[in-house]
Structure 1
Amino acid sequence: MKHCYWLFLLLFAVLLSSCITNKDVVYLQDKGTAMSDSLQIKELSKPYRVQINDILYINVKALDEELVSIFNPTSQENSGQNVGGANLYFTGFTVDLHGNIKFPILGEINVLGYTIKDIEAKVKTALLKQYFKETAEIFVTVKLAGLRYTVTGETGGTGVYTLYQDRVNIIEALANAGDIKTTGDRTDVLVIRQYPDGQKIHHIDLTDVAAMKSPYYYIQPNDMILVKPLKRKVLGAGETATQTLTTVASIFSVLVSTYFLAKNL
């Protein structure tokens, strides 16, 4: 019986140390890694530069709307539907493998690596040079056709999501996917990002307020967010102290029963 007692204490110590604590699940804690003005951290988001397979929504306006009708897909003007979703897949401008889009009249325009503002200026300049006069007073609007990203791992809902916003931080993106489960590792979330020369894996600790200074705090189109399970989950410990104690009690009960059965044989 003495051996069971010590085994019980050992199991209790291991499982108790494996409990998921408050520090494991609270976002943006001040861990001393931020400056004294940690509550006023300056954002490090940079203008997004267009990548291959992005879909762009481009709208051209002028004093004479008939002159610009050829540049604006008719389905966007007459369908009565919001610009977005599957509609943009068919009517938007997809960046091909060479970084080009095919635009009416102007032909192929290279947009790879350009910001949205750059593309607006580029399209406007080309239109004024080849089709319009300055007196037409044209106005060009360029937007990404939604911010598409993938979430997988220990989250409430894995899958591919699209948000129609210009900027989305990683916490908002995860919240849209059902948030990270209690058993997910918030201290080492992986962001797999697409670059012209391939993909790179980045790490971000979402329990540290310093994460807001990370260049990966704001997600980009085609990002993949991967949340790993905590080691505590692998050990099979409970998420709370009550669950852990229940597990320990069950194991101890089995050990005691086994001990007495063996002793009576």
Structure 2
Amino acid sequence: MNKIKLYILFLLPVLLTSCVPNKDLVYLQNKNGTSVAPITASNQKPYRLQVNDLLNISIRAIDPKLVEIFNPSGGQAIISTPDQGNYLNGYTIDDHGNIRLPVLGEMNVLGFTTEEVRIKIETLLHEKYFKSEAGIFVIVKLSGFRYTINGEVANTGIKTLYQDRVNILEAIANAGDINLTGDKKDVKVIRNFPQGSETFSIDLTDSNAVNSPCFYLQPNDYIYVKPLKQKSWGTGKTGIESLTTVVTLLSLATTTFLLLRN
């Protein structure tokens, strides 16, 4: 009887500490205790282009033949192209911050937003080559929203989403979600700037995460989800798994003791 009590006293703390608690699994919990979370304005700033960014530039006109030279697709809108097509037909920003356009030549776009690049191209075309009657219409977009995710997620690697804005929850969902052994309370986001890189930390279990400067990602961000301590212990992610592990160890220890005793 005393041995049973001893086993129970041993099992309880192991079960309580080895399995992953529910509060570490749920996203965006309201930890302030209020029933309604306050509405806050988005703090996302426009993305400014950096070296090695890939741009898709489409120039249209009332007469498509006037702008065929500018468009690898012959003046037609690019609806959807594979990554290889984007690489071959897009404009990569070189180490000096320039892209090289047909007729227009070298153009510096480092630090510009895509909207500012669009205005710059339209202005040059109207000033040097076309009248307003030509109906010049320029589209400038990043060739997909690229980011890298690693650590405790279902699918690691370089990901591409074809949309202008991506938040960290969308990026994680696109990677198959965080594993049960992943630490949602301390997700790292490494972001490159012209002056260097900066590392952010975000607690995805807290509803205030939406106010973090890294909640909305920027192209080429690197996301790392570190493992919980439960993974290194190897006792299991749930109470059942932990109980099974402990019972197995106790059975092994008892069997070994009896064999040595005999």
1:230 to 225, 228, 239: 228
Q: Distance in 1 between matches of 2:158 and 2:75?
A: 24
1:16-35 maps to which residues of 2 (within 5 A)? 16-32=16-32
- Tell me, yes or no, if the aligned pair for 1:51 and 1:196 is still in contact at 8 Å: yes
Measured after TM superposition, the shift of residue 8 of structure 1 is: 6.3
What is residue 165 of structure 2 aligned with on the other side?
A: 167
Change (3 A) 1:81 1:202: closer
CA distance in 1, matches of 2:22, 2:163: 32
**How far apart in 1 are the matches of 2:32 and 2:79?**
49
Distance 2:36 2:16 in 1: 36
Partner of 2:56: 57
- Runs of 4+ displaced beyond 3 Å: 1-8, 74-78
Stretches of structure 2 that go unaligned for 5 or more consecutive residues are: none
- Structure 1 residue 144: Cα displacement: 0.7
Which amino acid in 2 is paired with 1:38?
A
Change (3 A) 1:76 1:138: closer
Higher relative contact order, chain-length normalized (CA < 8 Å, sep 6+): 1
Partners of 1:251 and 1:132 lie apart in 2 by 80
On the 8 A contact 2:58/2:75 being kept in 1, the answer is: no
Counterpart code for 1:248: V
2:63 counterpart of 1:46: no
Q: Which amino acid aligns with 1:42?
A: A
Structure 1 residue 85: Cα displacement: 2.2
CA distance in 1, matches of 2:109, 2:225: 32
| Distance in 1 separating the partners of 2:38 and 2:152 | 28
Unaligned runs of 5+ in 1: none
Give the C-alpha shift of residue 75 in structure 1: 6.2
Contact 2:59 2:75 in 1 (8 A): no
**Counterpart contact for 2:68–2:75, Cα < 8 Å:** no
Distance (whole Å) between structure 1 residues aligned to residue 86 and residue 221 of structure 2? 20
CA contact (8 A) 1:8 1:252 kept: no
Determine helix, strand or coil for the equivalent of 1:38.
coil
Indicate the residue corresponding to 1:200 in structure 2. 198
1: CA distance, partners of 2:93 / 2:61? 25
Indicate whether 1:249 and 2:247 are aligned: yes
Structure 1 residue 64: Cα displacement? 2.3
**Distance in 1, Cα, partners of 2:43 & 2:154:** 28
Name the CA shift for 1:91/1:13 in 2 (closer, same or farther; >3 Å).
same
Contact 1:204 1:214 in 2 (8 A): yes
Aligned counterparts of 2:139 and 2:51: Cα–Cα separation in 1 = 20
Structure 1 residue 71: Cα displacement = 1.1
Residues 254 and 107 of structure 1: CA distance in aligned 2, closer, same or farther (over 3 Å): same
Given that residues 12 and 248 in structure 1 are in contact (C-alpha distance below 8 angstroms), is that contact kept between their aligned partners in structure 2? no
Residue aligning to 1:140: 138
Which position in structure 2 is the counterpart of 1:92?
A: 90
Preserved CA contact (<8 Å) 1:16 1:244: no
Q: Which amino acid aligns with 2:49?
A: V
For residue 224 of structure 1, report the CA deviation from its aligned partner: 1.2
**2:67, 2:75 within 8 Å by CA — same for their partners in 1?**
no
Instruction: Give the deviation of 1:18 after TM superposition.
Output: 2.1
Q: Are residues 123 and 81 of structure 1, via their aligned partners in 2, closer, same or farther at CA, if it must alter by over 3 Å? A: closer
| Aligned residues of 1:106 and 1:130 also touching (Cα < 8 A) | no
SS of residue in 1 equivalent to 2:67 = helix
CA distance in 2, matches of 1:94, 1:145: 10
Q: CA RMSD in A?
A: 2.4
State TM-score, norm by structure 1: 0.90
The residue identity in structure 2 corresponding to 1:173 is A
